[in-house]
Chains A and B, each alone.
Chain A
């Protein structure tokens, strides 16, 4: 695959061209709530939503500095949908995907595409979608991808990747389809070695700043997470942290790597089609069975269950932690429950008990 260069002013034309074949989504900037940074790094606080290109003013087009509010899975298994296969859908081209999102697709692909029962809804959208990712020239206070060895820039899993370079973009292609789209558009030049090395410098400097920021949070390395959630099963951390949970389910529903859903019936129409909606394991009835028995009756059990799913179940099954460090769950939680703090506390308890 190759490296190209495009001027910012041509990007709108590129997206316009794409929207002939695709439903194009782009980042749309909204004012975010301020989250104070402990190290005074003056981190940006705005947020981004992925909006339809047709619905925003062209001058509002922006390159997102970090991941959007909605998790990428929103495009592949809709938050709520009627499961019928006969409806035509426009292919999606998603601009503004970040590397944390691309990592999360490994989890989602395992869930929806692995095994005998592939999910045809997910599969179709995933195959059709054009993933246009981008480097993160900055990060949010809550971003902690690097703690999980995930870089703030993509190196695989995209069709096309945009790296900001001054006002313009250096562009990598990551798939045959991406390559063809770039070539046929006539809007891209080949990148020069100087442009490539400047891009790499920028990437390294973001990693350096992010590493400094993360040092403050003392998040344990990714290889010990399974051990600390297992050994911390009886820890008081769960009860203490869960005491401010209001069971909104926001952590689950905003999460890039969560995937749980509930099938239900249509109560109005006389049909046996299923309706699928995202579910949240922090909800009280998530694990309830007939007669009212519930293995996850208490909030702390449900909070713990979320961590066991991410850092025990998934490593056991596919050797990956089901967390990409996107920090969405931290941003969203009204109870100020912070995954970085929980992992740090479990790790501290573990090292204390080891002495």
Chain B
């Protein structure tokens, strides 16, 4: 019998990790083999509640377990946030093209993340760190609303050995000693030679917009800026029509696009 591409695979939820007051990481164990490339996304469903696209945040080289980091943003995600270990979820995919690691080889890489946008970037960072000799220097600029909202605090500490990391918060608290301001302010004194650099950006639309303009400002070429676009999605397969952006379907042709491919589109950041 033919395969039903809409049918999710049953997946055990084996651990829930609290990352911030509104963000949790779900450790999933699919009952059938499931592999993804970094930057590809999945459709995750909760019976009777709904289904939505998420990008795995775990190391794609680990296939037994998949981690997904999810912000509580509405109906389905609120339902997910109430779950405990042992529940069963549904997973379909992986979908989309993900990050073209081959294009990054030999280049210096500036990663800019905002909020829960660090989730797909964590998967990317794992892939880069697994093969550091293939890539140049790696920089990470990360912005969160408040110090409480910073996710992956432990991993970030470990990455510091291999990655130049800067973090900023929109609003500080009494204990915060670091940068304050939107994430683009971290780029003000980014003075590297950009001839062999690419940048990878993921975060809320408004953050992606201002970060992209900032990167252009400091000298990045549009074709060297990789953006993760978010659109409403249902099928993930290029069929349901929901995620159209110009001549593309974000689910099939993206979700990662270089800025030159999309910069002339109307209402790009809406």
Using a CB–CB cutoff of 8 Å, the interface residues on chain A facing chain B are 83-86, 111-112, 115, 117, 119-120, 123-124, 233, 259-268, 270-274, 276, 279, 281, 286-291, 293-295, 305, 309, 312-313, 316-317
User: Smallest Cβ distance from A319 to chain B, in angstroms?
Assistant: 12
**Which single member of B48, B230, B231, B241 contacts A259 (CB below 8 Å)?**
B241
Q: List B contacts of A268 (CB < 8 A).
A: 48
Q: List A contacts of B247 (CB < 8 A).
A: 312-313, 316-317
Which B residues, 218 to 256, have Cβ-Cβ distances below 8 Å to chain A? 230-232, 234-235, 237-242, 244, 246-247, 252
Mask for B9-41, Cβ within 8 A of A = 1, else 0? 010000000000000000000000000000000
Docked-complex contact A115 and B238, CB < 8 angstroms? yes
Supply 29 A–B pairs (Cβ within 8 Å), ascending by A. Answer: A111-B241, A112-B239, A115-B237, A117-B238, A119-B5, A261-B234, A261-B239, A262-B234, A262-B240, A262-B242, A263-B240, A264-B51, A265-B45, A266-B48, A272-B7, A272-B10, A276-B6, A279-B242, A287-B231, A288-B232, A289-B230, A289-B232, A290-B52, A291-B73, A295-B231, A295-B270, A313-B244, A316-B247, A317-B247
- Taken together as a complex, chains A and B put the C-alpha atoms of A137 and B247 apart, in Å, by 38
Docked-complex contact A286 and B232, CB < 8 angstroms? yes
**Which single member of A117, A286, A287 contacts B5 (CB below 8 Å)?**
A117
Docked-complex contact A260 and B242, CB < 8 angstroms? yes
Mask for B101-130, Cβ within 8 A of A = 1, else 0? 000000000000000000000000000000
Q: List A contacts of B237 (CB < 8 A).
A: 115, 117
Residue of B nearest to A115 (CB): B238
Docked-complex contact B51 and A263, CB < 8 angstroms? yes
Give the total number of A-B pairs whose CB atoms are below 8 A apart: 110
Which B residues, 57 to 91, have Cβ-Cβ distances below 8 Å to chain A? 71, 73-74, 77, 90
Assuming A123-B2, A316-B247, what are 14 further A-B pairs, CB within 8 angstroms?
A124-B2, A233-B266, A262-B242, A265-B48, A265-B51, A270-B47, A270-B48, A272-B7, A274-B7, A279-B241, A286-B242, A289-B232, A290-B71, A291-B74
Q: What are the 4 tightest A-B residue pairs by CB atom distance, in nearest-first order? A: A260-B241, A316-B247, A295-B270, A290-B73
Docked-complex contact B239 and A287, CB < 8 angstroms? no
Docked-complex contact A265 and B50, CB < 8 angstroms? yes
User: Smallest Cβ distance from B249 to chain A, in angstroms?
Assistant: 9
Residue of A nearest to B52 (CB): A290
Docked-complex contact A259 and B47, CB < 8 angstroms? no
- Taken together as a complex, chains A and B put the C-alpha atoms of A261 and B46 apart, in Å, by 19
Q: List A contacts of B50 (CB < 8 A).
A: 264-265
User: Smallest Cβ distance from B202 to chain A, in angstroms?
Assistant: 15
With contacts A261-B234, A265-B45, A291-B73 known, is A309 near B241, CB below 8 A? Answer: yes
Q: List A contacts of B244 (CB < 8 A).
A: 305, 309, 313
Residue of A nearest to B8 (CB): A272
Docked-complex contact B90 and A120, CB < 8 angstroms? no
- Taken together as a complex, chains A and B put the C-alpha atoms of A262 and B239 apart, in Å, by 10
B49 within 8 A of A: yes
User: Smallest Cβ distance from B244 to chain A, in angstroms?
Assistant: 6
Interface range on chain B (Cβ under 8 Å from partner): 35 or more
Docked-complex contact B6 and A274, CB < 8 angstroms? yes
User: Smallest Cβ distance from A123 to chain B, in angstroms?
Assistant: 8
Docked-complex contact A263 and B6, CB < 8 angstroms? yes
User: Smallest Cβ distance from A46 to chain B, in angstroms?
Assistant: 32
**Which single member of B51, B74, B232 contacts A287 (CB below 8 Å)?**
B232
Residue of A nearest to B206 (CB): A293
Q: List B contacts of A309 (CB < 8 A).
A: 241, 244
Task: Give the interface centre of A117, A233, A286 by most chain B CB atoms within 10 Å.
Answer: A117
- Taken together as a complex, chains A and B put the C-alpha atoms of A273 and B72 apart, in Å, by 24
B267 within 8 A of A: yes
B181 within 8 A of A: no
Docked-complex contact B205 and A293, CB < 8 angstroms? yes
Q: List A contacts of B240 (CB < 8 A).
A: 260-263, 279
Task: Give the interface centre of A83, A259, A270, A289 by most chain B CB atoms within 10 Å.
Answer: A289
B161 within 8 A of A: no
Q: List B contacts of A317 (CB < 8 A).
A: 247
**Which single member of B1, B234, B246 contacts A263 (CB below 8 Å)?**
B234
Docked-complex contact B239 and A117, CB < 8 angstroms? yes
Docked-complex contact A85 and B230, CB < 8 angstroms? no
User: Smallest Cβ distance from A109 to chain B, in angstroms?
Assistant: 12
Residue of A nearest to B89 (CB): A272
- Taken together as a complex, chains A and B put the C-alpha atoms of A291 and B75 apart, in Å, by 10
Docked-complex contact A85 and B235, CB < 8 angstroms? no
- Taken together as a complex, chains A and B put the C-alpha atoms of A276 and B242 apart, in Å, by 13
Docked-complex contact A287 and B48, CB < 8 angstroms? no
Residue of B nearest to A266 (CB): B48
Q: List B contacts of A287 (CB < 8 A).
A: 231-232, 242
Q: List B contacts of A290 (CB < 8 A).
A: 52, 71, 73-74, 77
B191 within 8 A of A: no
